[in-house]
């Protein structure tokens, strides 16, 4: 699996395509663009590069990065007009669209989490989680937890809410609980799972394996840039230019180690091992292509989440709402494997 070579080749292609838009905005007044991000979120890594390399400015954008306290604060800020754009998931977008709140989504990352266990835990497969304390990042409606529940239902015929003893916690606290042995396994986001891996834990199962067990064999973007559809229609050039800056930053980060030294302070890493693993996992999560099969995969995943999470998660719609993915900006088509 020549993942590194593929990423570097894809990054070179994206870089050559996306930098073309930078030459059109040199003499025009800068257009303000307010992006709301979690204060310590991984989105800041990319934004740090965009700002330091002036990737948005050279495309005519005056980018303002507004720190926010939580995912809920992000969507509230977007709904209230305090920011123009945030990073969240397409489940929220689809639910909003089903209620005639027309937000839309452009992929940001395919990076995924995992269930992490200690080597001496005796847990070798999902069936071994029976009656164990399973820590879950976030709450009962966390999308990765719902996918894991659907996987267990399909593969084992069990409901993990009854089969295990779920404990819900914020990601940093969940890592502490796992290290102290206060939970037997921890389902955490990718950047926190990486820290556990460095400390000797390993993945019992990760999201690609979960999806494969559900009949989904292609990577999907879980997080993306989200904004109002009507605002994007009125500011389409600015949005496209920002997306070009975003994907140029990704291409730079995928293709060279040197820029990572610049953004390392934003990563708040404990040591070199954590730094290198976070860098590798970030790169592995970069979306490099999209096609109709990708959209079909997202739609299939939504149906699984709707069946598991119900109306509380997805609202009244049982299928992915039309227009959830912004049609005005697409990645290069995927090549046949």
Q: Over 50: is that where the pLDDT of 212 sits?
A: yes
**pLDDT for 336:** 58
Is the distance from CB of 228 to CB of 239 less than 8 angstroms?
no
Same domain? 9 vs 104: yes
Q: Terminus-to-terminus CA distance in the chain, angstroms?
A: 12
Tell which of 213, 248, 276 closes a domain. Answer: 213
Same domain? 162 vs 18: no
Same domain? 101 vs 10: yes
Same domain? 239 vs 287: yes
Tell which of 183, 213, 243 closes a domain. Answer: 213
Same domain? 178 vs 262: no
Same domain? 19 vs 94: yes
Q: Over 70: is that where the pLDDT of 9 sits?
A: no
As beta bridge partners, residue 31 has 61
Domain assignment present for 242: yes
* Gap between the Cα atoms of 142 and 313, Å rounded: 9
- Summarize the confidence of residues 80-89 as an average pLDDT: 96
* Gap between the Cα atoms of 212 and 220, Å rounded: 12
Token duo for residue 6: 């593929």
pLDDT-derived band of residue 311, with 50, 70 and 90 as boundaries? confident
Tell which of 170, 185, 213 closes a domain. Answer: 213
Same domain? 106 vs 226: yes
Domain assignment present for 321: no
Domain assignment present for 333: no
As a whole number, the mean pLDDT across the chain is 90
Edge-to-edge strand ranges of the sheet holding 31-38:
61-68, 31-38, 85-89, 223-228, 103-109
- Summarize the confidence of residues 261-278 as an average pLDDT: 96
Domain total for the chain?
Answer: 2
Q: Over 70: is that where the pLDDT of 287 sits?
A: yes
The set of residues, in sequence order, having a beta carbon less than 8 Å from that of 319 and lying 6+ positions away, is 299, 302, 303, 306
Look at 176 and 139; give whichever has higher pLDDT: 176
**pLDDT for 219:** 83
**pLDDT for 4:** 56
pLDDT-derived band of residue 293, with 50, 70 and 90 as boundaries? confident
Look at 311 and 254; give whichever has higher pLDDT: 254
What residues make up the domain containing 124?
114-213
User: Which of 25-29, 180-184, 232-236, 289-293 is the least confident region?
Assistant: 25-29
Q: Over 90: is that where the pLDDT of 209 sits?
A: yes
Domain assignment present for 190: yes
Domain assignment present for 208: yes
Q: Over 50: is that where the pLDDT of 13 sits?
A: yes
Is the distance from CB of 135 to CB of 169 less than 8 angstroms?
yes
User: Tokens 């084992």 map to which residue?
Assistant: 156
pLDDT-derived band of residue 1, with 50, 70 and 90 as boundaries? very low
**pLDDT for 106:** 94
**pLDDT for 5:** 53
Give 63: exposed, middle or buried? Use CB within 10 Å, 0-12, 13-18, 19+: buried
* Gap between the Cα atoms of 106 and 117, Å rounded: 33
Same domain? 90 vs 230: yes
CB atoms within 10 A of CB 177: 16
The set of residues, in sequence order, having a beta carbon less than 8 Å from that of 74 and lying 6+ positions away, is 36, 37, 38, 68, 83, 86, 87, 88
CATH code of the domain covering residue 270: 3.40.190.10
**Alpha-carbon torsion 330, 335, 336, 337, what sign?**
negative
Domain assignment present for 181: yes
- Reference 194, options 42, 11, 86, 38; nearest CA is 42
**pLDDT for 69:** 85
pLDDT in tens, 21-78: 555 445 679 999 999 999 888 999 999 999 999 999 999 999 999 999 887 899 999 9
- Reference 207, options 121, 278, 116, 140; nearest CA is 116
DSSP state of 132: -
Same domain? 63 vs 189: no
Same domain? 202 vs 240: no
- Reference 260, options 46, 88, 18, 10; nearest CA is 46
- Reference 32, options 66, 77, 67; nearest CA is 66
**pLDDT for 10:** 58
Same domain? 299 vs 226: yes
Same domain? 11 vs 159: no
Domain assignment present for 336: no
- Summarize the confidence of residues 125-132 as an average pLDDT: 98
**pLDDT for 330:** 74
**pLDDT for 78:** 97
């Amino acid at each position: 699996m020549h993942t590194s070579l593929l990423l570097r080749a894809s990054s070179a292609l994206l870089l050559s395509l996306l930098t073309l838009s930078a030459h059109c905005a040199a003499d025009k007044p800068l257009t303000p663009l307010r992006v709301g991000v979690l204060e310590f979120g991984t989105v800041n890594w990319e934004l740090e590069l965009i700002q330091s390399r002036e990737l948005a400015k050279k495309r005519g954008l005056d980018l303002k990065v507004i720190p926010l306290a939580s995912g809920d604060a992000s969507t509230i800020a977007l709904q209230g007009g305090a920011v123009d754009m945030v990073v969240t998931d397409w489940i929220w977008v689809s639910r909003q669209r089903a209620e005639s709140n027309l937000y839309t989504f452009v992929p940001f990352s395919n990076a995924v989490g995992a269930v992490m266990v200690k080597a001496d835990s005796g847990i070798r497969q999902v069936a071994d989680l029976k009656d164990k304390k399973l820590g879950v990042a976030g709450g009962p409606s966390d999308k990765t937890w719902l996918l894991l529940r659907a996987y267990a239902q399909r593969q084992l015929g069990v409901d993990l809410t009854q089969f295990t003893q779920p404990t819900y916690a914020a990601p940093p606290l969940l890592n502490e609980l796992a290290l102290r042995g206060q939970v037997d396994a921890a389902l955490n986001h990718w950047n926190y799972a990486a820290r556990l891996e460095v400390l000797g834990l390993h993945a019992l199962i990760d999201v690609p394996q979960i999806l494969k067990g559900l009949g989904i064999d292609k990577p999907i973007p879980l997080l993306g840039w989200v904004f109002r559809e009507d605002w994007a229609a009125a500011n389409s050039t600015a949005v496209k230019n920002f997306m070009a800056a975003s994907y140029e930053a990704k291409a730079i980060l995928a293709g060279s180690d040197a820029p990572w030294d610049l953004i390392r302070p934003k990563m708040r890493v404990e040591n070199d091992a954590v730094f290198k693993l976070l860098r590798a996992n970030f790169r592995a999560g970069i979306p490099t292509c999209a096609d109709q099969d990708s959209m079909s995969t997202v739609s299939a995943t939504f149906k699984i989440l709707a069946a598991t999470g119900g109306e509380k998660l997805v609202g009244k719609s049982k299928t992915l709402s039309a227009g959830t993915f912004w049609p005005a900006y697409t990645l290069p088509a995927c090549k046949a494997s």
